[in-house]
Amino acid sequence: MSKFIRYSIITLSIALASTLIFWLVYGFEMRLDYISNSIFVIAISVLCVSVIMFTGATRVFLGFSYTSKMWLNSKKTKEEYGNFKEYYDEKSPSHKKDTLDIIVICLIYILVAIFLISI
């Protein structure tokens, strides 16, 4: 997928989510602070999740996943993975995602929200 299409989809998704919040919370009452709040809430939420995914911080939960697999089906888990290190080495690369473009778009949205509130 080209970068332009990916950026367009991300931008449109955040804009639609902001519009939905604007409608649900403020009922489309056109005030700059309401618009800014709607944009900011969505952008900061998506930014936080994107940063967590970008840094690979979700790997911290692999221990819980391995433990639950051992409790629920220990025989199969031991056959598939000898120990936690093997499980971690196989699963951890899939936990880091390239979300830098989402982070950049969210930062732009946050800057727009800050600009709107300062008017």
From 55, 50, 48, select the one nearest 10 (Cα to Cα).
50
Q: Is the pTM of this model over 0.85?
A: no
Q: Which residues of the chain have pLDDT under 70?
A: 1
Rounded-to-integer distance, Cα 60 and Cα 12, Å: 31
Look at residue 51 in the predicted model and tell me its pLDDT: 92
